[in-house]
Structure 1
Amino acid sequence: MSALAGRTALITGATSGIGLAAARALAEEGAHVVLVGRRQDALDDAVAGIGNQNASAIAADVTDPVDLARVAATIDTRGGGVDIIFANAGIAEVAPLGEITRDHYARTFNTNVGGIIFTIQATLPLLNDGASVILCGSAGDVKASPGTSVYAASKTAIRSLARSWAAELVERRIRVNVVAPGLTETPGLAGLFEGAGAALEDLTATVPMKRRARPEEIGGVVAFLASPASTYITGAEIYVDGGASQF
Protein backbone atom coordinates (compact mmCIF):
# COMPACT_ATOMS: atom_id res chain seq x y z
CA MET A 1 0.00 0.00 0.00
CA SER A 2 1.24 3.50 -0.81
CA ALA A 3 2.64 5.37 2.17
CA LEU A 4 0.13 8.23 1.97
CA ALA A 5 -2.99 6.36 0.89
CA GLY A 6 -6.14 8.03 2.22
CA ARG A 7 -4.32 11.23 3.20
CA THR A 8 -5.27 14.73 2.05
CA ALA A 9 -2.48 17.15 1.14
CA LEU A 10 -2.73 20.89 0.53
CA ILE A 11 -0.05 22.49 -1.66
CA THR A 12 0.18 26.23 -2.33
CA GLY A 13 2.06 27.63 -5.30
CA ALA A 14 1.25 24.32 -6.93
CA THR A 15 0.97 25.10 -10.62
CA SER A 16 4.64 24.79 -11.60
CA GLY A 17 8.16 24.14 -10.39
CA ILE A 18 8.67 22.79 -6.88
CA GLY A 19 5.00 22.98 -5.89
CA LEU A 20 3.84 20.93 -8.86
CA ALA A 21 6.66 18.42 -8.44
CA ALA A 22 5.72 17.98 -4.78
CA ALA A 23 2.06 17.52 -5.69
CA ARG A 24 3.01 14.78 -8.14
CA ALA A 25 5.25 13.07 -5.58
CA LEU A 26 2.55 13.12 -2.91
CA ALA A 27 -0.08 11.84 -5.35
CA GLU A 28 2.23 9.02 -6.42
CA GLU A 29 2.38 7.99 -2.75
CA GLY A 30 -1.41 7.79 -2.63
CA ALA A 31 -2.45 11.18 -1.23
CA HIS A 32 -5.27 13.25 -2.64
CA VAL A 33 -3.61 16.58 -3.41
CA VAL A 34 -5.45 19.90 -3.30
CA LEU A 35 -3.57 22.36 -5.47
CA VAL A 36 -3.76 26.09 -4.78
CA GLY A 37 -2.57 28.74 -7.22
CA ARG A 38 -3.67 32.03 -8.71
CA ARG A 39 -4.30 30.92 -12.32
CA GLN A 40 -7.23 28.62 -13.02
CA ASP A 41 -5.90 27.53 -16.42
CA ALA A 42 -2.59 26.44 -14.92
CA LEU A 43 -4.41 24.64 -12.11
CA ASP A 44 -6.59 22.80 -14.62
CA ASP A 45 -3.50 21.65 -16.52
CA ALA A 46 -1.81 20.52 -13.30
CA VAL A 47 -4.82 18.52 -12.14
CA ALA A 48 -5.16 16.89 -15.56
CA GLY A 49 -1.49 15.91 -15.46
CA ILE A 50 -1.80 14.33 -12.03
CA GLY A 51 -5.22 12.78 -12.61
CA ASN A 52 -8.64 13.92 -11.49
CA GLN A 53 -8.97 11.00 -9.08
CA ASN A 54 -5.87 12.08 -7.19
CA ALA A 55 -6.03 15.87 -7.42
CA SER A 56 -8.35 18.85 -7.17
CA ALA A 57 -7.70 22.57 -7.37
CA ILE A 58 -8.74 25.87 -5.79
CA ALA A 59 -7.83 29.18 -7.40
CA ALA A 60 -6.66 31.51 -4.63
CA ASP A 61 -4.08 34.13 -3.68
CA VAL A 62 -2.32 33.35 -0.38
CA THR A 63 -2.07 37.07 0.40
CA ASP A 64 -5.88 37.45 0.34
CA PRO A 65 -7.62 36.46 3.61
CA VAL A 66 -10.96 36.01 1.83
CA ASP A 67 -9.34 33.55 -0.59
CA LEU A 68 -7.73 31.63 2.26
CA ALA A 69 -11.02 31.36 4.10
CA ARG A 70 -12.57 29.99 0.91
CA VAL A 71 -9.75 27.44 0.56
CA ALA A 72 -10.37 26.20 4.10
CA ALA A 73 -14.13 26.07 3.60
CA THR A 74 -13.78 24.16 0.33
CA ILE A 75 -11.49 21.57 1.87
CA ASP A 76 -13.78 21.27 4.87
CA THR A 77 -16.66 20.24 2.59
CA ARG A 78 -14.60 17.25 1.41
CA GLY A 79 -14.48 15.93 4.95
CA GLY A 80 -11.60 14.10 6.56
CA GLY A 81 -9.51 17.15 7.40
CA VAL A 82 -5.95 17.80 6.22
CA ASP A 83 -2.99 15.50 6.84
CA ILE A 84 -0.25 17.31 4.93
CA ILE A 85 0.39 20.95 4.10
CA PHE A 86 3.20 22.08 1.83
CA ALA A 87 3.22 25.89 2.10
CA ASN A 88 5.25 26.64 -1.00
CA ALA A 89 3.88 29.84 -2.54
CA GLY A 90 6.52 32.56 -2.66
CA ILE A 91 8.28 35.13 -4.78
CA ALA A 92 11.88 36.16 -5.36
CA GLU A 93 12.88 39.62 -6.54
CA VAL A 94 16.28 41.28 -6.65
CA ALA A 95 16.85 44.68 -5.00
CA PRO A 96 20.31 45.71 -3.81
CA LEU A 97 20.73 47.85 -0.71
CA GLY A 98 20.06 51.43 -1.70
CA GLU A 99 17.33 50.40 -4.13
CA ILE A 100 15.00 48.56 -1.74
CA THR A 101 11.54 50.09 -1.84
CA ARG A 102 8.71 49.74 0.62
CA ASP A 103 6.69 48.03 -2.10
CA HIS A 104 9.43 45.45 -2.66
CA TYR A 105 9.68 44.79 1.06
CA ALA A 106 5.91 44.56 1.56
CA ARG A 107 5.35 42.35 -1.49
CA THR A 108 8.08 39.94 -0.45
CA PHE A 109 7.08 39.64 3.20
CA ASN A 110 3.33 39.63 2.55
CA THR A 111 3.76 36.72 0.15
CA ASN A 112 6.64 34.71 1.59
CA VAL A 113 5.94 35.19 5.29
CA GLY A 114 2.36 36.41 5.58
CA GLY A 115 1.20 33.92 2.97
CA ILE A 116 2.59 31.05 5.02
CA ILE A 117 1.39 32.36 8.38
CA PHE A 118 -2.17 32.87 7.23
CA THR A 119 -2.34 29.72 5.10
CA ILE A 120 -1.43 27.62 8.12
CA GLN A 121 -3.68 29.62 10.43
CA ALA A 122 -6.68 29.35 8.08
CA THR A 123 -6.33 25.59 7.81
CA LEU A 124 -5.25 24.88 11.39
CA PRO A 125 -8.77 23.82 12.49
CA LEU A 126 -8.71 21.20 9.70
CA LEU A 127 -5.31 19.73 10.59
CA ASN A 128 -5.60 16.20 11.87
CA ASP A 129 -3.52 15.09 14.85
CA GLY A 130 -0.30 13.60 13.52
CA ALA A 131 -0.32 15.85 10.44
CA SER A 132 2.84 17.03 8.69
CA VAL A 133 3.34 20.72 7.91
CA ILE A 134 6.16 21.51 5.50
CA LEU A 135 7.28 25.08 4.80
CA CYS A 136 9.31 26.03 1.75
CA GLY A 137 12.37 27.93 2.85
CA SER A 138 15.59 28.50 0.95
CA ALA A 139 19.29 27.86 1.23
CA GLY A 140 19.44 31.64 0.92
CA ASP A 141 18.72 31.87 4.64
CA VAL A 142 22.37 30.99 5.32
CA LYS A 143 24.05 31.79 1.99
CA ALA A 144 24.61 35.42 1.04
CA SER A 145 23.87 36.62 -2.48
CA PRO A 146 24.00 40.30 -3.49
CA GLY A 147 20.62 41.88 -4.09
CA THR A 148 18.61 39.25 -2.25
CA SER A 149 18.68 40.59 1.31
CA VAL A 150 14.91 41.05 1.66
CA TYR A 151 14.17 37.68 0.09
CA ALA A 152 16.74 35.96 2.32
CA ALA A 153 15.32 37.68 5.40
CA SER A 154 11.84 36.41 4.52
CA LYS A 155 13.14 32.86 4.23
CA THR A 156 14.97 33.19 7.56
CA ALA A 157 11.66 34.20 9.11
CA ILE A 158 10.09 31.03 7.73
CA ARG A 159 12.75 28.94 9.41
CA SER A 160 11.96 30.65 12.73
CA LEU A 161 8.22 30.09 12.29
CA ALA A 162 8.82 26.37 11.87
CA ARG A 163 10.66 26.11 15.18
CA SER A 164 7.96 27.95 17.10
CA TRP A 165 5.07 26.10 15.49
CA ALA A 166 6.75 22.74 16.00
CA ALA A 167 6.89 23.52 19.72
CA GLU A 168 3.29 24.74 19.79
CA LEU A 169 1.87 21.71 17.97
CA VAL A 170 3.99 18.89 19.36
CA GLU A 171 1.29 17.77 21.81
CA ARG A 172 -0.96 17.04 18.82
CA ARG A 173 1.88 15.13 17.14
CA ILE A 174 1.78 17.66 14.29
CA ARG A 175 5.26 17.99 12.85
CA VAL A 176 6.51 21.22 11.29
CA ASN A 177 9.63 21.21 9.13
CA VAL A 178 11.31 23.29 6.44
CA VAL A 179 12.62 22.13 3.10
CA ALA A 180 15.28 24.58 1.91
CA PRO A 181 16.03 24.30 -1.81
CA GLY A 182 19.06 25.75 -3.49
CA LEU A 183 19.20 26.65 -7.18
CA THR A 184 16.39 24.70 -8.82
CA GLU A 185 15.27 24.52 -12.45
CA THR A 186 11.95 26.34 -12.13
CA PRO A 187 10.13 29.01 -14.12
CA GLY A 188 10.74 31.38 -11.20
CA LEU A 189 14.50 30.95 -11.40
CA ALA A 190 14.43 31.38 -15.17
CA GLY A 191 12.45 34.60 -14.78
CA LEU A 192 14.79 35.92 -12.10
CA PHE A 193 17.82 35.45 -14.36
CA GLU A 194 16.12 36.36 -17.64
CA GLY A 195 18.73 37.97 -19.85
CA ALA A 196 21.49 37.08 -17.39
CA GLY A 197 22.25 33.48 -18.27
CA ALA A 198 25.98 33.92 -17.71
CA ALA A 199 25.35 35.08 -14.14
CA LEU A 200 23.20 32.01 -13.49
CA GLU A 201 25.90 29.71 -14.83
CA ASP A 202 28.51 31.44 -12.68
CA LEU A 203 26.31 30.94 -9.63
CA THR A 204 25.69 27.30 -10.53
CA ALA A 205 29.45 26.78 -10.70
CA THR A 206 29.67 27.60 -6.98
CA VAL A 207 27.43 24.63 -6.10
CA PRO A 208 29.61 21.69 -4.98
CA MET A 209 27.58 19.27 -7.14
CA LYS A 210 28.06 21.63 -10.14
CA ARG A 211 24.44 21.62 -11.24
CA ARG A 212 21.00 22.92 -10.37
CA ALA A 213 18.36 20.74 -8.73
CA ARG A 214 15.46 19.25 -10.63
CA PRO A 215 12.09 20.12 -9.07
CA GLU A 216 11.48 16.39 -8.60
CA GLU A 217 14.45 16.22 -6.25
CA ILE A 218 12.82 18.77 -3.97
CA GLY A 219 9.43 17.09 -4.33
CA GLY A 220 10.93 13.82 -3.15
CA VAL A 221 12.11 15.42 0.09
CA VAL A 222 8.66 16.93 0.62
CA ALA A 223 7.16 13.46 0.18
CA PHE A 224 9.65 12.08 2.72
CA LEU A 225 8.71 14.75 5.28
CA ALA A 226 5.04 13.96 4.69
CA SER A 227 5.51 10.24 5.14
CA PRO A 228 5.65 7.87 8.14
CA ALA A 229 9.40 7.55 7.45
CA SER A 230 9.95 10.97 9.05
CA THR A 231 7.74 10.76 12.13
CA TYR A 232 10.62 11.58 14.52
CA ILE A 233 11.60 14.77 12.68
CA THR A 234 10.12 18.12 13.69
CA GLY A 235 11.39 21.68 13.87
CA ALA A 236 14.11 20.79 11.36
CA GLU A 237 15.36 22.39 8.16
CA ILE A 238 16.56 20.11 5.38
CA TYR A 239 18.81 21.72 2.78
CA VAL A 240 18.38 20.36 -0.74
CA ASP A 241 21.03 22.44 -2.44
CA GLY A 242 23.82 20.23 -3.73
CA GLY A 243 25.92 21.03 -0.68
CA ALA A 244 25.99 24.79 -1.30
CA SER A 245 25.04 25.70 2.27
CA GLN A 246 27.39 23.17 3.85
CA PHE A 247 30.74 23.29 2.04
Structure 2
Amino acid sequence: MTAPAALITGGTSGIGSATAVALHDRGYRVAVTGQRSESVARARAELPDEVVVLRSDSSRLSDTDAVIAEVRERFGTLTTLCLNAGVSRPATLEAADEATFDEVFAVNTKGAFFTLAKALPLLTDGASVVITTGIGATRGLTGNSVTAGSRGALLTMIPTLALELAPRRIRINAVSPGYTRTPMLRATPGRSSAETEELLTAMAAQNPFGRLGRPEDVAETIAFLASDGAAYITGQEIVVAGGAGLAV
Protein backbone atom coordinates (compact mmCIF):
# COMPACT_ATOMS: atom_id res chain seq x y z
CA MET A 1 0.00 0.00 0.00
CA THR A 2 1.39 3.43 -0.98
CA ALA A 3 2.01 5.79 1.94
CA PRO A 4 -0.03 9.00 1.99
CA ALA A 5 1.72 12.12 0.69
CA ALA A 6 1.56 15.72 1.85
CA LEU A 7 2.72 19.07 0.52
CA ILE A 8 3.15 21.85 3.09
CA THR A 9 3.82 25.36 1.83
CA GLY A 10 5.69 27.55 4.27
CA GLY A 11 6.91 24.35 5.86
CA THR A 12 10.51 25.19 6.71
CA SER A 13 9.87 26.75 10.12
CA GLY A 14 7.27 27.25 12.83
CA ILE A 15 3.85 25.68 12.31
CA GLY A 16 4.71 24.28 8.89
CA SER A 17 7.84 22.55 10.13
CA ALA A 18 6.00 21.09 13.14
CA THR A 19 3.30 19.83 10.77
CA ALA A 20 5.92 18.19 8.56
CA VAL A 21 7.26 16.31 11.58
CA ALA A 22 3.77 15.33 12.78
CA LEU A 23 2.79 13.92 9.38
CA HIS A 24 6.15 12.25 8.83
CA ASP A 25 5.79 10.53 12.20
CA ARG A 26 2.41 9.22 11.02
CA GLY A 27 3.96 7.60 7.96
CA TYR A 28 3.40 10.33 5.37
CA ARG A 29 5.74 11.17 2.56
CA VAL A 30 6.22 14.90 3.00
CA ALA A 31 7.41 17.82 0.90
CA VAL A 32 7.74 21.34 2.27
CA THR A 33 8.45 24.70 0.67
CA GLY A 34 10.12 27.82 1.99
CA GLN A 35 10.97 31.19 0.53
CA ARG A 36 14.11 32.24 2.40
CA SER A 37 17.37 30.43 1.63
CA GLU A 38 18.40 30.35 5.30
CA SER A 39 15.16 28.70 6.44
CA VAL A 40 15.38 26.20 3.58
CA ALA A 41 18.95 25.29 4.57
CA ARG A 42 17.98 24.96 8.22
CA ALA A 43 15.00 22.75 7.34
CA ARG A 44 17.19 20.46 5.28
CA ALA A 45 19.47 20.09 8.28
CA GLU A 46 16.79 19.72 10.97
CA LEU A 47 13.82 17.94 9.40
CA PRO A 48 13.89 14.16 8.91
CA ASP A 49 16.04 13.15 5.95
CA GLU A 50 13.04 11.76 4.07
CA VAL A 51 11.27 15.14 3.99
CA VAL A 52 11.69 16.88 0.63
CA VAL A 53 12.59 20.56 1.10
CA LEU A 54 12.01 22.90 -1.85
CA ARG A 55 12.68 26.60 -2.21
CA SER A 56 9.67 28.46 -3.58
CA ASP A 57 8.07 31.89 -3.42
CA SER A 58 4.32 31.32 -3.13
CA SER A 59 3.58 34.64 -4.79
CA ARG A 60 5.29 33.49 -8.01
CA LEU A 61 3.10 31.12 -9.98
CA SER A 62 6.12 29.87 -11.92
CA ASP A 63 7.65 28.72 -8.62
CA THR A 64 4.39 26.95 -7.78
CA ASP A 65 4.42 25.21 -11.15
CA ALA A 66 7.93 23.93 -10.43
CA VAL A 67 6.90 22.66 -7.00
CA ILE A 68 3.86 20.82 -8.36
CA ALA A 69 6.00 19.23 -11.09
CA GLU A 70 8.55 18.08 -8.47
CA VAL A 71 5.84 16.66 -6.22
CA ARG A 72 4.23 14.86 -9.16
CA GLU A 73 7.55 13.27 -10.03
CA ARG A 74 8.36 12.22 -6.47
CA PHE A 75 4.94 11.29 -5.09
CA GLY A 76 2.59 10.95 -8.04
CA THR A 77 -0.42 12.07 -6.01
CA LEU A 78 -1.23 14.02 -2.85
CA THR A 79 -3.54 13.05 -0.03
CA THR A 80 -2.94 16.23 1.98
CA LEU A 81 -2.26 19.83 0.98
CA CYS A 82 -1.44 22.27 3.76
CA LEU A 83 -1.43 25.89 2.59
CA ASN A 84 0.60 27.49 5.34
CA ALA A 85 2.87 29.97 3.54
CA GLY A 86 2.28 33.51 4.66
CA VAL A 87 3.77 36.87 5.55
CA SER A 88 2.77 39.55 8.03
CA ARG A 89 3.63 43.20 7.50
CA PRO A 90 2.04 45.18 10.36
CA ALA A 91 1.06 48.71 9.38
CA THR A 92 -1.70 51.12 10.31
CA LEU A 93 -3.95 52.61 7.66
CA GLU A 94 -1.84 55.78 7.55
CA ALA A 95 1.45 53.86 7.23
CA ALA A 96 0.46 51.14 4.77
CA ASP A 97 1.72 51.46 1.22
CA GLU A 98 0.82 49.81 -2.06
CA ALA A 99 3.93 47.63 -2.23
CA THR A 100 3.25 46.12 1.20
CA PHE A 101 -0.42 45.57 0.39
CA ASP A 102 0.44 43.83 -2.88
CA GLU A 103 3.11 41.63 -1.27
CA VAL A 104 0.86 40.43 1.53
CA PHE A 105 -2.07 39.60 -0.75
CA ALA A 106 0.23 38.01 -3.35
CA VAL A 107 1.63 35.53 -0.84
CA ASN A 108 -1.27 34.99 1.56
CA THR A 109 -4.23 35.05 -0.81
CA LYS A 110 -3.17 34.63 -4.42
CA GLY A 111 -0.45 32.16 -3.50
CA ALA A 112 -2.76 29.90 -1.51
CA PHE A 113 -5.56 30.02 -4.10
CA PHE A 114 -3.40 29.16 -7.09
CA THR A 115 -1.37 26.53 -5.25
CA LEU A 116 -4.65 24.75 -4.58
CA ALA A 117 -5.74 25.18 -8.20
CA LYS A 118 -2.46 23.84 -9.55
CA ALA A 119 -2.32 20.96 -7.04
CA LEU A 120 -5.91 19.89 -7.74
CA PRO A 121 -4.98 17.30 -10.43
CA LEU A 122 -2.66 15.61 -7.92
CA LEU A 123 -5.19 15.44 -5.08
CA THR A 124 -6.73 12.03 -4.62
CA ASP A 125 -10.46 11.60 -4.10
CA GLY A 126 -11.03 12.02 -0.37
CA ALA A 127 -7.94 14.20 0.07
CA SER A 128 -7.67 16.90 2.73
CA VAL A 129 -6.79 20.56 2.20
CA VAL A 130 -5.98 22.70 5.24
CA ILE A 131 -5.41 26.45 5.06
CA THR A 132 -3.68 28.26 7.91
CA THR A 133 -5.45 31.57 8.50
CA GLY A 134 -5.34 33.05 12.02
CA ILE A 135 -7.68 34.57 14.57
CA GLY A 136 -6.54 38.02 13.43
CA ALA A 137 -8.75 37.58 10.36
CA THR A 138 -11.89 37.95 12.48
CA ARG A 139 -10.69 39.93 15.52
CA GLY A 140 -9.47 43.50 15.73
CA LEU A 141 -5.78 44.20 16.14
CA THR A 142 -4.25 47.61 15.45
CA GLY A 143 -1.94 47.51 12.44
CA ASN A 144 -3.25 44.15 11.23
CA SER A 145 -5.83 45.22 8.64
CA VAL A 146 -3.85 44.21 5.55
CA THR A 147 -2.78 40.81 6.89
CA ALA A 148 -6.26 40.21 8.31
CA GLY A 149 -7.83 41.07 4.96
CA SER A 150 -5.57 38.68 3.10
CA ARG A 151 -6.42 35.83 5.47
CA GLY A 152 -10.07 36.77 5.76
CA ALA A 153 -10.39 36.53 1.99
CA LEU A 154 -9.38 32.88 2.23
CA LEU A 155 -11.93 32.24 4.98
CA THR A 156 -14.73 33.57 2.78
CA MET A 157 -13.65 31.29 -0.06
CA ILE A 158 -13.68 28.09 1.97
CA PRO A 159 -17.46 27.35 2.01
CA THR A 160 -17.66 27.72 -1.77
CA LEU A 161 -14.49 25.71 -2.35
CA ALA A 162 -15.85 23.01 -0.05
CA LEU A 163 -18.94 22.67 -2.25
CA GLU A 164 -16.87 22.64 -5.43
CA LEU A 165 -14.59 19.91 -4.09
CA ALA A 166 -17.32 17.82 -2.45
CA PRO A 167 -18.09 15.65 -5.53
CA ARG A 168 -14.59 14.19 -5.14
CA ARG A 169 -14.96 14.06 -1.33
CA ILE A 170 -12.00 16.42 -1.05
CA ARG A 171 -12.30 18.28 2.24
CA ILE A 172 -11.09 21.84 2.80
CA ASN A 173 -10.89 23.47 6.20
CA ALA A 174 -9.14 26.36 7.91
CA VAL A 175 -7.01 26.28 11.04
CA SER A 176 -6.74 29.64 12.77
CA PRO A 177 -3.92 29.87 15.32
CA GLY A 178 -3.78 32.50 18.01
CA TYR A 179 -0.43 33.92 19.08
CA THR A 180 2.01 31.06 18.59
CA ARG A 181 5.72 30.96 19.39
CA THR A 182 7.10 30.92 15.88
CA PRO A 183 10.06 32.70 14.25
CA MET A 184 7.58 35.08 12.57
CA LEU A 185 6.12 36.14 15.93
CA ARG A 186 9.54 36.61 17.51
CA ALA A 187 10.90 38.66 14.60
CA THR A 188 9.34 41.96 15.63
CA PRO A 189 10.87 44.91 13.75
CA GLY A 190 12.37 47.61 15.95
CA ARG A 191 12.52 45.49 19.11
CA SER A 192 15.47 43.76 20.75
CA SER A 193 15.22 40.06 21.61
CA ALA A 194 14.82 40.95 25.29
CA GLU A 195 12.02 43.40 24.52
CA THR A 196 10.33 40.81 22.33
CA GLU A 197 10.49 38.17 25.06
CA GLU A 198 9.02 40.64 27.54
CA LEU A 199 6.16 41.32 25.14
CA LEU A 200 5.55 37.61 24.55
CA THR A 201 5.48 36.99 28.31
CA ALA A 202 2.85 39.69 28.70
CA MET A 203 0.82 38.24 25.84
CA ALA A 204 0.97 34.79 27.41
CA ALA A 205 -0.27 36.15 30.73
CA GLN A 206 -3.37 37.53 29.00
CA ASN A 207 -4.29 34.18 27.46
CA PRO A 208 -6.92 32.15 29.37
CA PHE A 209 -4.53 29.17 29.37
CA GLY A 210 -1.66 31.34 30.57
CA ARG A 211 0.66 30.59 27.68
CA LEU A 212 1.21 31.18 24.00
CA GLY A 213 0.53 28.46 21.49
CA ARG A 214 3.20 26.02 20.41
CA PRO A 215 3.66 25.09 16.76
CA GLU A 216 2.87 21.52 17.77
CA ASP A 217 -0.57 22.59 19.05
CA VAL A 218 -1.51 23.70 15.56
CA ALA A 219 0.31 20.84 13.82
CA GLU A 220 -1.71 18.24 15.74
CA THR A 221 -4.95 19.90 14.65
CA ILE A 222 -3.80 19.89 11.03
CA ALA A 223 -2.82 16.24 11.33
CA PHE A 224 -6.30 15.44 12.63
CA LEU A 225 -7.93 17.24 9.70
CA ALA A 226 -5.71 15.26 7.36
CA SER A 227 -6.77 11.96 8.94
CA ASP A 228 -9.70 9.67 8.25
CA GLY A 229 -11.06 10.77 11.62
CA ALA A 230 -12.04 14.05 9.97
CA ALA A 231 -13.52 12.43 6.87
CA TYR A 232 -16.91 14.17 7.36
CA ILE A 233 -15.59 17.65 8.18
CA THR A 234 -15.38 20.26 5.44
CA GLY A 235 -15.87 23.99 5.01
CA GLN A 236 -15.01 24.70 8.65
CA GLU A 237 -12.63 26.87 10.66
CA ILE A 238 -10.97 25.47 13.78
CA VAL A 239 -9.49 28.06 16.13
CA VAL A 240 -6.39 26.92 18.04
CA ALA A 241 -5.82 29.76 20.47
CA GLY A 242 -6.26 28.61 24.06
CA GLY A 243 -9.43 30.64 24.44
CA ALA A 244 -7.93 33.91 23.19
CA GLY A 245 -10.57 36.34 21.97
CA LEU A 246 -13.47 34.75 23.84
CA ALA A 247 -13.76 37.37 26.57
CA VAL A 248 -16.16 40.27 26.06
TM-score (norm 2): 0.92
In structure 2, the CA distance between the partners of 1:79 and 1:29, relative to structure 1 (3 Å rule), is closer
Question: Identity of counterpart residues, as a percentage?
Answer: 37
Offset of 1:65 from its aligned partner? 1.1
Work out whether residues 8 and 32 of structure 1, in 8 Å CA contact, stay in contact via their aligned partners in 2.
yes
Work out whether residues 18 and 186 of structure 1, in 8 Å CA contact, stay in contact via their aligned partners in 2.
yes
The correspondence for 2:69, drawn from 64, 70, 73, is 73
SS in 2 for 1:192: coil
Matches of 1:40 and 1:128, distance apart in 2:
31
Offset of 1:70 from its aligned partner? 0.6
Whichever residue aligns with residue 17 of structure 2, its letter is L
In structure 2, the CA distance between the partners of 1:181 and 1:161, relative to structure 1 (3 Å rule), is same
Deviation by residue 1:192-215 (Cα, 9 ceiling, x = unmatched): 363453444443333211210011
Whichever residue aligns with residue 22 of structure 2, its letter is A
Superposition pairs for residues 1-247 of structure 1, below 5 Å? 6-40=3-37, 42-53=39-50, 55-192=51-188, 194-195=191-192, 196-197=195-196, 198-247=198-247
Deviation by residue 1:169-214 (Cα, 9 ceiling, x = unmatched): 0010000000000000011001136345344444333321121001
Offset of 1:48 from its aligned partner? 4.3
Deviation by residue 1:90-142 (Cα, 9 ceiling, x = unmatched): 01111112111111111111111011011111111111110000000001122
RMSD: 1.8
Matches of 2:179 and 2:13, distance apart in 1:
15
Offset of 1:50 from its aligned partner? 3.3
Matches of 2:42 and 2:137, distance apart in 1:
32
In structure 2, the CA distance between the partners of 1:203 and 1:51, relative to structure 1 (3 Å rule), is closer
Give structure 1 stretches of 5+ with no counterpart: none
Matches of 2:37 and 2:99, distance apart in 1:
26
Offset of 1:38 from its aligned partner? 2.0
Whichever residue aligns with residue 69 of structure 1, its letter is D
Offset of 1:79 from its aligned partner? 4.3
Work out whether residues 9 and 85 of structure 1, in 8 Å CA contact, stay in contact via their aligned partners in 2.
yes
Work out whether residues 129 and 173 of structure 1, in 8 Å CA contact, stay in contact via their aligned partners in 2.
yes
Matches of 2:56 and 2:136, distance apart in 1:
27
Matches of 2:202 and 2:39, distance apart in 1:
32
Matches of 1:167 and 1:9, distance apart in 2:
22
Q: Which moved more, 1:100-109 or 1:202-211?
A: 202-211
Matches of 2:100 and 2:35, distance apart in 1:
20
Work out whether residues 166 and 175 of structure 1, in 8 Å CA contact, stay in contact via their aligned partners in 2.
yes
Runs ≥4 in structure 1, deviation > 6 angstroms? none
Whichever residue aligns with residue 167 of structure 1, its letter is L
Work out whether residues 130 and 174 of structure 2, in 8 Å CA contact, stay in contact via their aligned partners in 1.
yes
Matches of 2:37 and 2:91, distance apart in 1:
30
TM-score (norm 1): 0.92
Whichever residue aligns with residue 148 of structure 2, its letter is A
Whichever residue aligns with residue 63 of structure 2, its letter is D
Work out whether residues 12 and 53 of structure 2, in 8 Å CA contact, stay in contact via their aligned partners in 1.
no
